Amino acid sequence: MIDLHCHILHGMDDGAQTIEDSLHMAKQAVSEGIHTIVATPHHKNGKYINEKNEIIQRVERLNTYLLQENIPLTILPGQESRIYGEIIKDYQNGKILTLNQTGKYLFIELPSSQVPNFTEKLIYDIQSEGLTPIIVHPERNSRIIEDPDILYNLINKGVLTQVTASSLTGRFGKKIKKFSMELIEANLTHMVASDAHNISGRNFHMQEASDLISSEYGIDMLYLFQENADAVINGNVCFKHTPEKIKKKKFLGIF
Ligand code: FE
């Protein structure tokens, strides 16, 4: 398995803090059948700034450690950028990293409780650079939960989305689990990744999520997600089913 979203590089953000943390996470990943991880430190989320060159160097160093420790896992460079106005300028200035440096896919994180007004314009600008934005964990954005059509519209404009494994397994509560499943059912998400930060509260849960996807939606859906993860790291085109609107359950009041 490939895990596209993981905070395994130590000392860069709120993920692994020490090299021991990184190695513990690596062993846990391998035990779940993960052979490749895209390391995606937070960037410009108000707390952390992690630019392209530093991330690439840290990935090389961690791969050397993994070889020394005989852990059969490959780390690829990535970045999780919070949406911000200067992202295109920073991309042109070499501060922004596409996933595995293919020049194709960019992870974009929205703030947790809103979708900024400039989102659509910025998405357009990102696409004009020849990049495909992937919105990470839309299932945890309270504005999107409230109005899923916002996401439907962005997907119709060519955005991809990544749902979090532990959202599907219930780590963030029943509401987010249910909404994650609705996103899959309506073809509003295209890949699953762990967003693991550690091996306690924010663990991988990739095996558990994979089992759930294949039992609920069939093995074909799981293969689709896995093939898309492979397409992302190779810079190939992802497969998409036609997105549908999530039908809101009508409140049954007195008529
Ligand atoms: Fe993340």
Tell me how far the alpha carbon of residue 74 is from its chain's centroid.
Answer: 18
The answer on pLDDT for 253 being more than 80 is no
Residue written as token pair 């994180």: 109
CATH topology classification for 2-234: TIM Barrel (3.20.20)
Distance CA 20, CA 139 (A): 31
The answer on pLDDT for 43 being more than 60 is yes
CA of 41 to the centre of ligand 1 (A): 7
Mean pLDDT of the residues in the chain: 96
Strand partners, 226: none
Distance CA 215, CA 208 (A): 11
The angle subtended at Cα 231 by Cα 230 and Cα 232, nearest 5°, is 90
CA of 253 to the centre of ligand 1 (A): 40
pLDDT at 247: 82
CA of 249 to the centre of ligand 1 (A): 30
Residue 200: DSSP 8-state: S
In the chain, where are the structural domains located? Answer: 2-234
Residue 57 binned pLDDT confidence (cut-offs 50, 70, 90): very high
Section 216-225 average pLDDT: 97
Distance CA 68, CA 84 (A): 38
pLDDT at 249: 62
CA of 165 to the centre of ligand 1 (A): 12
The answer on pLDDT for 255 being more than 90 is no
CA of 136 to the centre of ligand 1 (A): 8
Strand partners, 43: 81
Distance CA 183, CA 187 (A): 6
pLDDT at 250: 54
The answer on pLDDT for 254 being more than 80 is no
Distance CA 61, CA 158 (A): 35
Residue 120 binned pLDDT confidence (cut-offs 50, 70, 90): very high
pLDDT at 252: 57
CA of 133 to the centre of ligand 1 (A): 15
Q: Answer with the residue of higher pLDDT: 248 or 158.
A: 158
CA of 212 to the centre of ligand 1 (A): 21
- The whole model's pTM is what? 0.95
Residue 163 binned pLDDT confidence (cut-offs 50, 70, 90): very high
CA of 7 to the centre of ligand 1 (A): 7
* Phi/psi at 119 (5° precision): -55, -50
CB 114 within 8 A of CB 85: no
Residue 150: DSSP 8-state: H
CA of 108 to the centre of ligand 1 (A): 10
The answer on pLDDT for 47 being more than 90 is yes
Distance CA 225, CA 253 (A): 39
CA of 50 to the centre of ligand 1 (A): 13
What kind and span of H or E run contains 22? helix 19-31
Section 133-161 average pLDDT: 97
CA of 118 to the centre of ligand 1 (A): 22
Residue among 255, 252, 191, 202 nearest 224 (CA) = 191
Section 216-243 average pLDDT: 97
CA of 255 to the centre of ligand 1 (A): 45
Distance CA 231, CA 234 (A): 5
pLDDT per residue as tens digits for the range 201-214: 999 999 999 999 99
- Determine what percent of the chain is predicted with pLDDT higher than 70: 97
38 Cβ contact partners less than 8 Å away, ≥ 6 residues apart: 2, 3, 4, 5, 6, 75, 76, 77, 78, 99, 100, 232, 233
* Residues 124, 55, 36, 168, Cα dihedral to 10°: -60
pLDDT at 85: 93
99 Cβ contact partners less than 8 Å away, ≥ 6 residues apart: 4, 38, 40, 76, 78, 105, 106, 107, 134, 232, 233
3-state SS, residue 153: helix
CA of 42 to the centre of ligand 1 (A): 7
